[in-house]
Each structure stands twice: as structure tokens, then as C-alpha cells.
């Protein structure tokens, strides 16, 4: 082929390309341009990291490289002891003594859950651990341990967990997940959610998996709610917060009895440690946690503090999703209240319990079968004193 032939061939290819591009631009590029032109009207403002709402005497966090950071709420000198479980803490010798309110340690065991016994110079002794479980592939994965009750006791560590979906559990984190010793997983998601993001549980683990869909099992009700939100995605006057608050009231009016299987599982000590979860780990799971804490005598103010803690632990995830939603044309005033929790949401459930039954205890009894005897059983299983029962007496 000579140079003239190559030139003619190149010209023909160019003409074909131009023709294709014209067609492509008419059918694809212009609609895309129109969509992105609309995006420019929806600005994204990053949600600032809120302060933790639950007051712990000691907050323990881990970085992605495994370093532990200990932040004490009050100044003082603290002896820190270590154990593989709350009952196996070795109180004979501290692993270190903390004299600053913030201490970072890189010499502690990796790839497994550990617990800490704390002794202050004033004689106060208690057990604690990571509240946010450092499995970063699971959103809002938390231990309900250490939460105080009105009678001066506290919920045991390593007994009951709450989380978002487990679909992204990575292989490198399975060893840590297995160290939690979870025996029961209660699944709140509907059929469509599970099909879209099935849980990835360690193959070698023996876990009793119990499906307890909250809402509509098929997912049709939730889909209808999503369509309502999408319909108003560009509506500057759409009140997403009031919309979600109403959903929380409907939980009490229409779906309360769906929490019965969870509460029944909690009455059998053989089912622990137990993990319950939904997709985001904040709404169906948040209400479930509130019901459990209410049943064992946690004050409503502290229940609310734990509920609102989801905004702290989900902040990074919320910002990533919010950015995507605004790029897809959803106004931030519509999207953000759907990603976060607000005190009015859970308060809506509390108010509905009071309006329908007079108080939470009556609601628990009439709707969930958790009367006085069942509440005492839950307390005997889930509560402990702040000091370790395994610690030798002085």
C-alpha cells in the first residue's frame, strides 16, 4: 500500500469517526452534558466530624496499622491490665502505666480482640475495650459493652455487637473477626438488600445465622420509600428529616413485633456473643440497640447518646456517599438527613411508645413479650459491675 492509499484510508476512517461521534454526541453526550449541567447546581459541603456523644471513662481506638490509642476522660495515673476476654484479664501485673490522658502503644497483640482492666490511683477499677471494632471493612461496627445502667451496673464487653452489613469483610480481617467468638448473627435486611450485598462470613466459622427482616421482607416497602425520596431529590423544600422521623414512628406502629425474634434470642445465654445488623447499621439496628438497652435499664439520655454516636463513626462513610449522591443530582438537604441519624428520629420512636403504651417498659411487655421476668433475665446475662468479678479481692 502506497502513501496515497494510506492517506485515503486514513481520511475514510476519520470521516467514519466523525459520523460516529456526531451520532454519539446527539444520543449520549448531550444528555450527559445536560445532567452534569444540573450537577453544578448541587454543591457538596463536607459534614464535619462531630464529637463523640457517649461519655466513656476511657476511649480506645486502633489505627489501620494496629497501634492502640488510649484517651482517658480524666487526668490521673492508671494501671492497664490485659486479657483475651473480660473474665481472663491478668490482674497480677499491669502491661503499662498511663500517666498522660492520651497514650499510644504499638506493642500490643495484633489480629485479635483484647480487653483491658483499668485501675486508678483512687481505687476505681473497671473493664473496657474498643467500642468501635477495628474491622474497617464493616461500617459502624460497635460493642455495646461498658454502657452504664440506672442501677449502677454496666453492659458487659464482648457480649453483644451492632453493625452495618458484612458484605465487605476482607480476608485479612477474618482472623480478627473470628477472635470475637460470635455465635449468632441476626440479619435485619430484606431480600433485595441481601441479594445486592450478601454477607461475607468466614468459611471456617460456625455461626447461627438468623434472618429477622425489619420492615418488608421482600423490600417493596423500602423501595417505595426510596422512590419517594428520589422523586423529591431536587426539591429544596423536601423535609428529609421529618420524612425519616415518620419512618421511626412507623417502626413502632407497624413493625415493632418484628423485633420479637431478636429479643427471644437474647434470653438464651448460649446465643452469645451475638451480632445484629442491617445495611447502614444506624436505623433498624439503632432502634434494636435502643430496645435492648431500655430493657436492661439504661437511661434514655444514654440510649440517645449511643444512638447519635453513629454520626461519629459513620462520618467518613457518610461524606463519601453524600458526595456521590450530590453528583447524581440529589440536593444535600435531601440526602444528608438520610445518611445521618438525628435525635428527633429515635425520639419519635420513644414518643410513639409513650403515646401508645404509656412508657417503654409497657411497650416491651405488650409488643415484644419482655416483661419483668424477661428483663431480669436479660440483666443477669448482659450486666455486670464496673469492676471485674475475676479480679482477686483486696
Pairing of strands 184-187, 274-277: parallel
- Tell me: do 93 and 195 sit in the same domain: no
Q: Find the domain containing 97 and state its range.
A: 56-130
10-16-19-24 Cα dihedral, nearest 10 degrees? -110
CATH number of the domain to which 170 belongs? 3.90.190.10
pLDDT value at position 222? Answer: 77
33 in a domain, yes or no? Answer: no
- If asked whether residues 249 and 148 sit together in one domain, one would say yes
pLDDT at 344: 97
Condensed to tens digits (0 to 9), the pLDDT of residues 245-280 reads 999 999 999 999 999 999 999 999 999 999 999 999
Would you state the cell numbers that stand for residue 1, as one nine-digit string?
A: 500500500
316: in domain: yes
What is the C-alpha separation between 101 and 293, in angstroms, rounded? Answer: 29
When divided into structural domains, the chain yields a total of 2
- Smallest CA-to-CA distance from 126 within 299, 394, 384, 393 is with 384
**Whether residues 317 and 280 fall in one domain:** yes
Q: Is residue 17 part of a domain?
A: no
Domain membership flag for residue 211: yes
In a domain, 21, yes or no: no
Taking the CA of residue 150 as centre, how many other CA atoms within 13 Å lie in the half-sphere pointing to its CB?
Answer: 10
Domain shared by 82 and 143, yes or no = no
Peptide bond into 273 cis (omega under 30): yes
What is the C-alpha separation between 262 and 143, in angstroms, rounded?
17
C-alpha cell at 316: 467518613
Q: Are residues 232 and 344 in the same domain?
A: yes
Q: Work out the angle between the directed axes of helices 372-382 and 284-295 (0-180°, nearest 10).
A: 100
**Positions in the chain short of pLDDT 70:** 1-42, 386-394
Decide which of 102, 130, 158 is a domain's last residue: 130
Does 150 map to a domain? yes
> Do 102 and 165 have their domain in common?
no
Which helix H or strand E contains 76, and what residues bound it? none
Both 281 and 342 in a single domain? yes
Residues 283 and 295: beta-carbon distance below 8 Å? no
**How crowded is the C-beta side of 304, counted as CA atoms within 13 Å?**
12
Alpha-carbon distance of 165 to 53, in angstroms, equals: 23
Residues 300 and 335 reside in one and the same domain: yes
Three-class secondary structure of residue 62 per DSSP: strand
In-domain check, residue 40: no
- For residue 374, is it within any domain? yes
Question: 245 and 97: one domain?
Answer: no
Amino acid at each position: 500500500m502506497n502513501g496515497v492509499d494510506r492517506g485515503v484510508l486514513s481520511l475514510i476512517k476519520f470521516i467514519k469517526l466523525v459520523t460516529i461521534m456526531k451520532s454519539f454526541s446527539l444520543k449520549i453526550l448531550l444528555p450527559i452534558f445536560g445532567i452534569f449541567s444540573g450537577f453544578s447546581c448541587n454543591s457538596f459541603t463536607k459534614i464535619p466530624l462531630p464529637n463523640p456523644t457517649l461519655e466513656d471513662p476511657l476511649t480506645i481506638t486502633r489505627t489501620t496499622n494496629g497501634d492502640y490509642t488510649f484517651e482517658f476522660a480524666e487526668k490521673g495515673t492508671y494501671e492497664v491490665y490485659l486479657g483475651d476476654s473480660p473474665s481472663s484479664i491478668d490482674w497480677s501485673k499491669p502491661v503499662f502505666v498511663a500517666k498522660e490522658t492520651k497514650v499510644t502503644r504499638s506493642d500490643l497483640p495484633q489480629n485479635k480482640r483484647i480487653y483491658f482492666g483499668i485501675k486508678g490511683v483512687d481505687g476505681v477499677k473497671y473493664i473496657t475495650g474498643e467500642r468501635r471494632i477495628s474491622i474497617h471493612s464493616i461500617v459502624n461496627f460497635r460493642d455495646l459493652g461498658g454502657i452504664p445502667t440506672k442501677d449502677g451496673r454496666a453492659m458487659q464487653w464482648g457480649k453483644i455487637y451492632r453493625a452495618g452489613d458484612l458484605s465487605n469483610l476482607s480476608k485479612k480481617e477474618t482472623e480478627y473477626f473470628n477472635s470475637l467468638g460470635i455465635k449468632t448473627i441476626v440479619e435485619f435486611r430484606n431480600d433485595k438488600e441481601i441479594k445486592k450485598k450478601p454477607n461475607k462470613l468466614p468459611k471456617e466459622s460456625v455461626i447461627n445465622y438468623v434472618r429477622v427482616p425489619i420492615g418488608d421482607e421482600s423490600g417493596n416497602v423500602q423501595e417505595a420509600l426510596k422512590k419517594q425520596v428520589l422523586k423529591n431529590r431536587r426539591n429544596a423544600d423536601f423535609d428529609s428529616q421529618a420524612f425519616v422521623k415518620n419512618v421511626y414512628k412507623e417502626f413502632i406502629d407497624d413493625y415493632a413485633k418484628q423485633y420479637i425474634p431478636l429479643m427471644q434470642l437474647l434470653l438464651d445465654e448460649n446465643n452469645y456473643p451475638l451480632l445484629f445488623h442491617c445495611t447502614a447499621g444506624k436505623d433498624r439496628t439503632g432502634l434494636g440497640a435502643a430496645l435492648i438497652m431500655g430493657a436492661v435499664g439504661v437511661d434514655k439520655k444514654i440510649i440517645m447518646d449511643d444512638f447519635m454516636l453513629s454520626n461519629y463513626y459513620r462520618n467518613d462513610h457518610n461524606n463519601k456517599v453524600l458526595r456521590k449522591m450530590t453528583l447524581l443530582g440529589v440536593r444535600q438537604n435531601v440526602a444528608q438527613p438520610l445518611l445521618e441519624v438525628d435525635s428527633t428520629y429515635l425520639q419519635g420512636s420513644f414518643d410513639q411508645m409513650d403515646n401508645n403504651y404509656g412508657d417503654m417498659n409497657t411497650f416491651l411487655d405488650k409488643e415484644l413479650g419482655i416483661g419483668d421476668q424477661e428483663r431480669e433475665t436479660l440483666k443477669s446475662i448482659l450486666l455486670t459491675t464496673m469492676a471485674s468479678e475475676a479480679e482477686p479481692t483486696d
